[in-house]
Amino acid sequence: MTTETKLPFDQEYITSFSKDMNEPDWLTELRVQALEKADALPMPRPDKTKIDKWNFTQFANLLVKSEAFASLDELPEDVKALVNLEAKDSSLYIQRNNKPAYISVSKELREKGVVFTDIFTAAREHGELLKKYFMTAVKSDEHRLTALHAAFMNGGAFLYVPKNVEITQPVQAIFVHDNAEANVFNHVLVVAEDNSSVVYVENYISTVPQADSQFNIVTEAVAGNNARIQYGAVDTLAKGVTTYVNRRGIAARDARIEWALGMMNDGNTVSENVTNLVGDGSYGDAKTVVVGRGEQVQNFTTNIVHFGKRSEGYILKHGVVKDSATSIFNGIGKIEHGASKSNAEQESRVLMLSEKARGDANPILLIDEDDVTAGHAASVGRVDPLQLYYLMSRGISQAEAERLVIHGFLAPVVNELPIEGVKKQLVEVIERKVK
Amino acid sequence: MGGSVLSIKDLHVEIEGKEILKGVNLEIKGGEIHAIMGPNGTGKSTLSSAIMGHPKYEVTSGSITLDGENVLEMEVDERARAGLFLAMQYPSEISGVTNADFLRSAINSRREEGQEISLMKFIRQMDSKMEFLEMDPNMAQRYLNEGFSGGEKKRNEILQLMMLEPKIAILDEIDSGLDIDALKVVSNGINEMRGSDFGCLIITHYQRLLNYITPDHVHVMMQGKVVKSGGPELAQRLEAEGYDWIKQELGIEDETVGQEA
């Protein structure tokens, strides 16, 4: 059944929006075609969460007026805390709602021929390069939300690392949401060519306490032969923001893609994190930590698909659920026929902190090849009373003991984030959310 | 200042409805080292768990006091802050919490807010105790007991003992699974603690440990009670002759308690 929905912006609007942005024709064309298909395409169906009542299609604004930040001093305090203000030569992009609001690109990046810019500038100035990768890992016609994403894309960043370039400093992007009426269709494209390596860290952060917004986020991370992408993200979007976020990676031969995702939104969220291990010897590591609270409903699907021989995929998901929140964790390790000597491992654990909280961990292994190894562990439960007993037997109060266990439980992602401010922020958000 | 007194009177304890301790009497004073010996399944570990307040053990009658304070009314953390310590036979593993962070929390739990131990002082103390116990310095930053070998866990329990300096410590089979070198190191740690402010209850079924730590008092448990007490010579006789002579003396056929045949 397809529900009849009238999309809020038509072909004419999208075309003129694209022209206003001076986008190349191929992108205008891609937007228009995606919009045409959107209505007919089905909604995605995250396992065990019904999202047909969620509003992903109706919204009033595609663009809100936002000012750029003339300097980092102008940043809101919460955002400032994420940035290393002392660093003189960092690579940092800040977007304010839809507006590219600040950018600095380090000398290292410039000298090595790295492209790091907002998605609109990328389309104007690096159109052919963008075209080669844009919406290739995530296709616009997969379902209605990817189609809407392509049609309505109104923000994002492009990071391109040429062959043999290894970047030592992390590259940072911050997507600030400070207008309760802003709707953000954000596209992040990270390309690491053969033998290159890059660490990218992003924050989605609401500075408004509550909003009536939609975020439709697509990330594509493309790692060439023997390339390495470390992708860190902390999402802290406010209550009232409905989020669809799709972060997908493609790893070529001997490539590594490592995700560290701190999913701390306060609104309803559907997250897909897929890593396609296409090349032989490729490696995917997907770590996700989540806190659900209040009434929010969240669904997190992590999927690592093995096509290449000797490919290795590791999924770790740790979630804490409190109040009346619902969090569903679907972990899928899939080994395709021919991906011999591959290894798919996953661990999903959910801690429930209240009677009304709902958590569900569904580990799935789909294996179409004989000569492989695979394993999974899943659990849903409360804080282990024996762990509490042990900590308390050293004098630590019950509240502090619980805090320690929960922080430890969510530590795997915290420890992976290479930017001190972002790490600290995640720890503080966890603190605030589990309290 | 004299040492503390842990006093256990007519203690009865059940686990899942089954009575394991059937009237234990024991008094441990600061400056004294007591050893409880006995074959497996006689209630020794139950006694240590009951003193610390393990959630599965229920005290049905009798009393435990520390310097006159009713221990049974205290939460587990209050017992620890009152001065009790239990080196556990099977310490929990806690992922994501480093040994150092955990120990610092434990030390600070005994201090007022604003009076927390300084990081420098803490690190100095921890370094020196770890060196004393011949522990790999990396263990400070490893997650609490996670992936530790049996011997590392035991050393880590003694490290906590030395850092927290309790009034009365109970060591539950601290010697099990230790090779002779590790046993010496662990014994050195315990001997280092010896003094008029420190009382200790060592639970073991091997006399071996007592070659390195000379106890003041030795007790034998059978059938959920202390059936015989004496001095260090009792441990030596047990080593030489085993437990059968006590069973004969007391007319006990099956020394265990609460176990299905």
ipTM confidence score: 0.96
Is 90 exceeded by the pLDDT of residue A2? no
Residues of chain B with pLDDT under 70: 1-2, 259-261
Size of the A and B interface in Cβ pairs below 8 Å: 81
A386, A404, A409 member nearest B105 (Cβ): A404
Mean pLDDT over the full length of chain A:
95
Percent of chain A with pLDDT over 70: 99
Instruction: Classify the C-alpha dihedral A64-A65-A67-A68 as positive or negative.
Output: positive
Closest to A94 in 3D by CA, of A81, A114, A79: A79
Q: What is the pLDDT of residue A5?
A: 59
CB contact under 8 A, B102 and A404: yes
Give me the mean pLDDT over the A294-317 stretch.
98
CB contact under 8 A, A389 and B75: no
Tell me how close the Cα of A429 comes to any Cα of chain B, in angstroms: 17
Tell me how close the Cα of B40 comes to any Cα of chain A, in angstroms: 22
Cα B82 → chain centroid: 15
CATH number assigned to the domain with residue range B5-231, chosen from the 4 options 3.40.50.2300, 3.40.50.300, 3.30.1540.20, 3.40.50.700: 3.40.50.300
CA angle, A230 then A242 then A422, to 5°: 35
Answer yes or no: are the C-beta atoms of B220 and B227 closer than 8 Å.
yes
A387, A389, A396 member nearest B106 (Cβ): A396
Q: Using CA atoms, how far apart are residues A296 and A49, in angstroms rounded to an integer?
A: 12
Q: What is the pLDDT of residue A435?
A: 84
Cα A212 → chain centroid: 20
Here the tokens at position A419 are 């930017």
Q: What is the pLDDT of residue B82?
A: 98
Q: What is the pLDDT of residue B261?
A: 39
The model's pLDDT over A325-350, given as tens digits with 9 standing for 90+, comes to 999 999 999 999 999 999 999 999 99
Cα B88 to Cα A393, A427, B92, B211, B257: the distances in Å are: 10, 31, 9, 21, 21
Q: Using CA atoms, how far apart are residues A361 and A317, in angstroms rounded to an integer?
A: 9
Tell me how close the Cα of A350 comes to any Cα of chain B, in angstroms: 14
CB contact under 8 A, B105 and A392: no
What residues contact residue B43 under an 8 Å CB cut-off, 6+ apart? B20, B21, B22, B24, B221, B223, B224, B225, B257, B258
What residues contact residue B79 under an 8 Å CB cut-off, 6+ apart? A393, B51, B52, B53, B66, B71
Alpha helices in B56-171 (DSSP H): 76-82, 99-108, 119-132, 150-164
Q: What is the pLDDT of residue B224?
A: 96
Which residue in this structure is represented by tokens 């030390």? B107
Q: Using CA atoms, how far apart are residues A353 and A356, in angstroms rounded to an integer?
A: 9
Is 90 exceeded by the pLDDT of residue A158? yes
Interface probe for A, chosen from B52, B90, B97 (most Cβ of A below 10 Å), is B97
Tell me how close the Cα of B129 comes to any Cα of chain A, in angstroms: 17
Q: What is the pLDDT of residue A8?
A: 82
Please name the residue of chain B whose CA is at the shortest distance from the CA of residue A400.
B105
Closest to A176 in 3D by CA, of A264, A101, A90, A269: A101
Instruction: Classify the C-alpha dihedral A146-A151-A155-A158 as positive or negative.
Output: positive
CA angle, B127 then B133 then B134, to 5°: 85
Answer yes or no: are the C-beta atoms of B219 and B24 closer than 8 Å.
no
Cβ-count burial B164-194 (b if 16+ within 10 Å, e if not): bebbbbbbbbbbeebeeebbebbbebbeebe
Q: What is the pLDDT of residue A7?
A: 78
Going from N- to C-terminal start, the domains of chain B cover 5-231
Strand extents, DSSP E, A196-296: 197-206, 210-223, 228-236, 239-251, 256-263, 269-277, 283-292
Give me the mean pLDDT over the A187-213 stretch.
97
B77, B85, B86 member nearest A396 (Cβ): B77
What residues contact residue A417 under an 8 Å CB cut-off, 6+ apart? A201, A232, A234, A260, A262, A423, A426
Please name the residue of chain B whose CA is at the shortest distance from the CA of residue A399.
B77
User: Chain B contacts of A410, Cβ < 8 Å?
Assistant: 96
Confidence bin at A1 (pLDDT 50/70/90): very low
CB contact under 8 A, B94 and A390: yes
Interface probe for A, chosen from B105, B112, B163, B167 (most Cβ of A below 10 Å), is B105
Please name the residue of chain B whose CA is at the shortest distance from the CA of residue A403.
B97
Tell me how close the Cα of B158 comes to any Cα of chain A, in angstroms: 12
| Residue A386: φ, ψ to 5° | -70, -35
- What 3-state DSSP class applies to B247? helix
Tell me how close the Cα of A394 comes to any Cα of chain B, in angstroms: 6
A389, A391, A394 member nearest B55 (Cβ): A389
pTM: 0.90
CB contact under 8 A, B80 and A392: yes
Please name the residue of chain B whose CA is at the shortest distance from the CA of residue A407.
B96
Answer yes or no: are the C-beta atoms of A419 and A199 closer than 8 Å.
no
Amino acid at B179: D
Starting at the earlier edge strand, list the strands of the sheet with A343-352. Answer: A99-104, A91-96, A171-177, A197-206, A228-236, A256-263, A283-292, A312-321, A343-352, A373-381
A389, A404, A409 member nearest B76 (Cβ): A389
Give me the mean pLDDT over the A366-385 stretch.
94
Pairing of strands B69-70, B57-66: antiparallel
User: Chain B contacts of A411, Cβ < 8 Å?
Assistant: 95-97
A392, A404, A412 member nearest B77 (Cβ): A392
Cα A79 to Cα A99, A100, A205, A216, A422: the distances in Å are: 15, 15, 8, 21, 10
